[in-house]
Amino acid sequence: MTGWTRPMEPLDIPGERGGLKGFAPAHLDWSLDGGVGTVTLRRPERKNALTFDSYAELRELFTRLNRSPEVRAVVLTGAGGDFCSGGDVFDIIGRLVESDAPGLLRFTRMTTEVVRQMRRCPQVLLAAVDGVCAGAGAALALACDLRVGTPRSRVGFLFTRVGLAGCDMGACALLPRVVGLGRAAELLYTGRMMDADEAERWGFFNRVVPGEELLAAATAWARELAQGPAFALAMTKRMLQHEWTLGLDEALEAEAQAQAMCMATRDFDRAYRAFAARAKPEFQGD
């Protein structure tokens, strides 16, 4: 019988750890500091309108975040005083009107995949919204878990104004759960814009802060969440989505199983010992 003469090296399984290793987007800005990632849409001259390339990079980023335990929370924002004006008229819409049906479906599946990966990634996502937040930009903000606006923010789901259905990038599934069915129907049927006061009153924005404080406020909130129990927060995000389609009995059983899993974590033990010692727990996400 033969054996190893030295300890086995850890297996280098692609995607197992460090999912963001080598990620260098050309159409977005990405940074990570203290567990908080910041994604900045970077086309200020076009109010950060999305292109085929920026959609693809967003899809890749949020997919990689599923394998990136070093990232605990993410802020999504836009450069130059606007969040995002939607799909670029010339780069995207101008090309779509010349496309065949299979090409159109490939595009819409790519855009919906961005939202799917945003909802699947375990990190809490915060949208920091200034200025224009319209069309696909509004859908990206909606796909985040929390939204911070400014008095300058204007939000609109413009799809019907260009001859499209309001059911774009998950809007018909997500918006009623954020603002209510009647309000969602109004916004999606008319394509009108909401100002910041209405968006906060209707529950689209969790908070509205002065424009000069937006990124700092959103980052501080993200940092606070990043210091929390990462596994428990990820489980909460998952259950908030999973229970949409469950009856009460099924939801109660799902929550019993989810909470039992959280009780098996070291963070739960740390919280108990900190409470007993009258100290603040230091969560490590395990």
Which pLDDT belongs to residue 283? 92
Q: What angle do CA 275, 125, 87 make, to 5 degrees?
A: 175
Which pLDDT belongs to residue 15? 37
pTM for this model (two decimals):
0.90
The full DSSP string for 37-68 is: EEEEE--GGGTT-B-HHHHHHHHHHHHHGGG-
Domains, the chain: 28-226 (3.90.226.10), 230-276 (1.10.12)
Query: How many angstroms separate the CA atoms of 261 and 252, rounded?
Result: 14
Which pLDDT belongs to residue 229? 95
Q: How far is CA 140 from CA 34, 41, 98, 210, 273, in A?
A: 24, 11, 25, 22, 40
Per-residue pLDDT of the chain (286 residues; tens, 9 = 90+): 333 333 333 333 333 444 898 889 999 999 999 999 999 999 999 999 999 999 999 999 999 999 999 999 999 999 999 999 999 888 888 888 888 999 899 999 999 999 999 999 999 999 999 999 999 999 999 999 999 999 999 999 999 998 999 999 999 999 999 999 999 999 999 999 999 999 999 999 999 999 999 999 999 999 999 999 999 999 999 999 999 999 999 999 999 999 999 999 999 999 989 899 998 898 988 8
Task: Extract the tokens encoding 114.
Answer: 């961005």
Which pLDDT belongs to residue 12? 33
Helix (H) or strand (E) holding 32: strand 28-33
